[in-house]
Every structure is written in structure tokens, then in C-alpha cells.
Chain A
Amino acid sequence: MSCMLPTLTKKIEVDSIIRDTLDEVLVLRFGRATETLCLQLDHILSKAAREVSKFATVALVDVDSEDIQVYIKYFDITLIPSTVFFFNAHHMKMDYGTADHTKWVGSFYTKQDFIDVVETIFRGAMKGKLIVKCPLPPERIPKYQILYKDV
């Protein structure tokens, strides 16, 4: 599934895709193409990428790459797969009802869930909102716990 979408392994690639995606939602999936959950998410992303292509770009980022580590640290990615959304090089937050509003952790249940999330982010961004509420019911949002260091 990962072959259907561009996979980024260098920081400069990630930089340029964040900078060059204008007036569209950029979906960056941080993960590993060998993990089962990642594969599941990639499958959903690759199916939905075409359907959201008018207002979103989807790209995969390989967390094992050396060059990417700076982003892993910067985005506080501790669990994979994690999905981060950008709009005009601005990070978009979403209130999922989980501890972390900055990224979607885990896979989506269905393709439509992903499309709904991306669409809500796009609509919010077009209205100037940096944070939006997740349109999905809580039972469709994967639960996880973050252990904060130094807190």
C-alpha cells in the first residue's frame, strides 16, 4: 500500500512538501511500512487520497530514516503510526478528546472517517481556525496513553 503514496525519507523533502502545499491540507503519516497497523492506515490513506485530492495531499514519512529524526523529536512522535496535518505550512490541531491534540495516533476505522477528519480540518482552516473539533464519535478514535517525560 505504501507504494501508492510518496514516501519521504529526507528532511528536505518533508520541508519542501510542507512549504509547497498551498491552500490544501497536507497529511503526513509518520510510520514504518512493516508495521501491521501502519499498513492498515496506509491502505486507507491510499484509497482516500484520490477522493480528497481536491483539497488535500497525502504523503508518508519513514520514521526509521536518520534524516527524519529531527522531525520525530520536533513533533513529539512517540507512537506510530502518527498522522500530522498541515495547512499552508501551519500545523493544524484537532480536538480528538485524547491527550494529544497535535496528531492523530493510530489507524482510522474506515476510509470515510479519514475523509471526514481531513474535510473538517480543511473547512476549519479556510475559516481561519487553527484547531477544530473531531467530527468522529469517540468510540471511533483509538485510545492511547502518553507517558510524559519530565512532567
Chain B
Amino acid sequence: MMGETKKIEYEFCKACNINHNQGLRHKYFPNHKKSLSNFLNRFRTKLSHVRFFLNSPIPLNPHLASRNRIWCVFCDHDIHEHSSSFASANAIRHLSSAEHVKNLKHFFWKYGGAADQLPAFMFTHHDVAKWEKRCMARKEDEASERCGGKVFGPSSDDDIHNQVHTGNVDSLENVYSHSVKSYPSNAVLPLQCYTNESQISCSRLSGVAANSSEASSAANPFALQDFAVERTNHSLPCDGRQWLSDGYSCNNQVHDNGRMVSGGSSHQGLPLLIPISSGHTESAGGNLHSGAPPPWVEATEVVQMYSKPVLEDPISHSNKIVKSKKLNPKRVGAAWAEKRKIEMEKKKRGETVSNEYDANWLPNFGRVWQSGSRRESRKEFEREKPKLNDETQSEMPIKIQPYVSKRMRMDGGVDLASG
């Protein structure tokens, strides 16, 4: 028994992506909670795509079937859509299945998620029944259209395909009108009306987790993007139509009951759209066709506006103030630094500085045996300087005399003495 309790087996935490031997305790750790909320959010964004298809079923293009798949993190199961005729059909069925619900509940028990988040990761049978009804309606619509002798494409599947590959405005227009006709549920115009609701519903959906602000900020670009779409619709019809007709692959997901959910940028849709970048350029105001000034011109103007005062001294002055504010006023030589700064600035402006330093200037220096202030060492040095000069000068005039031996001198001395 003791051994059992001591030796807890290692297990893998899917949320943290680590092996641990802490048992069930692990789910209460703050790091785990953080990574769990990240983990769930990632899957929630993926599910938001599926939810979009749940509310507005779209026939699946067989070419894109391989891309339209989802990995269920709770069941560790890859859901393919090869055989399904509607987008994410298998995923919708899986997410409402009893097995998925069981796995989901197990996951939440094991990793400690909040129970009120459970409905976000599964679909109710009611929703699925509605979805199936809508699918049937769609199928009937298509059949009637095909019987009525359509002008546009052989099937709506191919229309999506066409709209991806043709750059022709005419064909795009056809597609556009067709898509409007054939998607009565996600009518194009409401897309602009429900822009605000996208934020609300999105933040409400993910508001349970700690990152509601994150989610709402993620929703903002899309709101902008919707706005941009509206604008392009006015200024540049062909662009706007292309945009709107790509509703299948773009991230704006319209619920027929008026709610809208924005998804993340990672969608299984078509690769040719870069919604965020276009959204940004459009939101900057005007484009090439609307005659707005190019962004670099604006940028340079702004730079000039900011750089003009830089040339004058107020900015540099304020810079200096900011810098000196940051520095410790008690630092070594603070007063001197301030004085010197003002002098240097004056010099830069061409003014004559009254306090010029002469060639004999020396910094304050604390010598080895120095006591008292450091200025004293300079004074000491000034005092020593003449002495040093004297020494060097006095050393110079030493006369070199020829050697005279002691005896010679003695003799000389003797001579002198005798003489």
C-alpha cells in the first residue's frame, strides 16, 4: 500500500504537454490551468468553424474534402469528411455523439475544466436535427435549381470552385448572384448589420475562460474587416463581391438566427484569401481606386510633422529633462554634468562659452596617498610641478669631468700643499 501511494505512475497531460507523476493533483496547478484554458481556446476556435457549418450547411466541394477535417482533442480522433456531402458533416455528427460527450466529460473530470464550458464543445441533438433539416432543404433547392435549367455552373460545388480559380469579374458576378440566391440563410447584407453582434456573441462564448479580453480583441479585426467589406462594396464592386461570395472560406460565420461568430484565422478553407491583411489596408482608409494618398506619403508627412520640432531644441530639451529625471540626482558629479551639458549645448548652437578650459586643466584625481578632497591632489600636483621641473633642469647641468686618480689628486694636493 505504501509503495503504491509513494510511486505514482507517470502520466501525460494533454493540456500541458508534459509527463508528470503528480496524479490528479496536477490539475490544480496554476500552470496547468493556464495551459488548459489555452488548449480549450484553440479547440474552441476550430469548433467555431464547425458551428458555422452547423447553422448554415454548405455543400462540400470534393476537392476540399481532404482539407475539411478536424482533430477531436477529447477523443483523440481525426474526423475526415471524405464521404460527406456537406461541410463538416462528420464532425457535426461526431460532436453530438454519445461517445464524444462521454470522452468530453472524462476529459473535463481529468483535467479540471469548468462544467459550464461543456456545452461549447458539443452539439445538442436538437441543433443537429435542425442542421439535418436544413441540409435536406438545401439539397431540395439544388435539385430544383438544376431541374430549372441553371445558367451558372453545373452545381454549386463547382461554383465555389470557380470562384476560387477565376479572376474574371463577370464570372465572379455570376457566382455572387448565385450565392445570394442559393444561401438564403446567410444572406449577404446582414453580414454588415451583425458586425457588432459578432463581438458580443464571441466574447460571450469564450467569456467563461480567463481570456475573454483576448477573444474580444481577436474579434475586433474581423469587425474591422466586415466594415472594410462594406466599404469596398461601395467603392469597388468587383472586390466586394469577391469578398462576400467567398463567405464559404472567409472567417465570418453567419448564423441564420442573427448571431454571428468570428472564427480564428486558421481555417481549413481556401488559401488564396488573406483576410486580415486586406482588412487592415482597407481600414486605413481609402485605397488606390478611391484616390486616397498612398500610405508612404502619409507616413512621411507624419514623420515630418514629428521630425520638425526635433530639429529645434524643445524636443531635445525635453529629452534631456526626461533623462535627467531618470538619473539619480545624488550621483557622482551630477551638478557638474548638468553644467557641462548646458555648456555643450551652447557650444553646439555656436554661442561662446564663458567658462573656457585652459590647456593646464586637470581633472580631480584621488592619488594613492591623498587625503581630503580630490581637488587637493591637483593642488598638490601644481605645487610639485615646479619642483619636478627644477629637478629635471638641475639634473641637466651636471658636468662630466675627466677622471682624476686619487693619487694624482693627492699628488696635486701634496704639490699644492707643498707648493
Which residues of chain B in 302-328 are interfacial with respect to chain A, using CB atoms and an 8 Å cutoff?
A: 323, 327-328
Alpha-carbon distance between A18 and B328 when the two chains are bound, in angstroms = 20
Q: Tell me whether B137 is interfacial, beta carbon within 8 Å.
A: no
Q: Are A87 and B333 in contact (CB under 8 A)?
A: yes
Query: Inside 8 A of A148's CB, which chain B residues have their CB?
Result: 368-369
Q: Are B331 and A74 in contact (CB under 8 A)?
A: no
Residues of B within 8 A of A (CB): 323, 327-328, 330-334, 336-337, 340-341, 344, 357, 359, 361-369, 374, 378, 381, 388
Contacts A76-B368, A88-B337; A18 near B332 (Cβ below 8 A): no
Alpha-carbon distance between A92 and B332 when the two chains are bound, in angstroms = 9
Smallest Cβ distance from B51 to chain A, in angstroms?
Answer: 52
Which listed residue (B328, B337, B344, B363) contacts A127, Cβ 8 A?
B328
Q: Are A88 and B366 in contact (CB under 8 A)?
A: no
Residues of A within 8 A of B (CB): 11-12, 15, 18-20, 22-23, 70-71, 73-76, 86-93, 99-102, 125-130, 146, 148, 151
**Contacts A/B (CB < 8 Å), 23 sampled:** A11-B359, A15-B357, A18-B363, A19-B361, A20-B340, A74-B378, A74-B381, A86-B363, A88-B332, A88-B333, A88-B336, A89-B336, A90-B336, A90-B363, A91-B363, A91-B364, A91-B366, A93-B366, A102-B368, A125-B331, A127-B328, A127-B331, A128-B331
Alpha-carbon distance between A75 and B365 when the two chains are bound, in angstroms = 7
Query: Inside 8 A of B337's CB, which chain A residues have their CB?
Result: 22-23, 88
Q: Are A129 and B332 in contact (CB under 8 A)?
A: yes
Smallest Cβ distance from B164 to chain A, in angstroms?
Answer: 53
Smallest Cβ distance from B377 to chain A, in angstroms?
Answer: 8
Smallest Cβ distance from B393 to chain A, in angstroms?
Answer: 15
Number of CB contacts from chain A to chain B under 8 A: 89
Alpha-carbon distance between A126 and B334 when the two chains are bound, in angstroms = 9
Alpha-carbon distance between A76 and B367 when the two chains are bound, in angstroms = 8
Give the residue name and chain of the B residue nearest to A121 (CB): B332
Give the residue name and chain of the B residue nearest to A90 (CB): B333
Q: Are B341 and A128 in contact (CB under 8 A)?
A: no
Alpha-carbon distance between A29 and B367 when the two chains are bound, in angstroms = 17
Alpha-carbon distance between A126 and B337 when the two chains are bound, in angstroms = 12
Q: Are B332 and A87 in contact (CB under 8 A)?
A: yes
Give the residue name and chain of the B residue nearest to A101 (CB): B368
Q: Are A23 and B367 in contact (CB under 8 A)?
A: no
Smallest Cβ distance from A148 to chain B, in angstroms?
Answer: 8
Q: Are B367 and A89 in contact (CB under 8 A)?
A: no
Give the residue name and chain of the A residue nearest to B374 (CB): A91
Smallest Cβ distance from B330 to chain A, in angstroms?
Answer: 4
Smallest Cβ distance from B327 to chain A, in angstroms?
Answer: 6
Alpha-carbon distance between A93 and B337 when the two chains are bound, in angstroms = 19
Find the residue from B331, B332, B362 having the highest chain A CB count within 10 A: B332
Q: Are A125 and B368 in contact (CB under 8 A)?
A: no
Query: Inside 8 A of B366's CB, which chain A residues have their CB?
Result: 91, 93, 101-102, 130
Alpha-carbon distance between A75 and B340 when the two chains are bound, in angstroms = 23
Alpha-carbon distance between A73 and B381 when the two chains are bound, in angstroms = 9
Alpha-carbon distance between A100 and B330 when the two chains are bound, in angstroms = 26
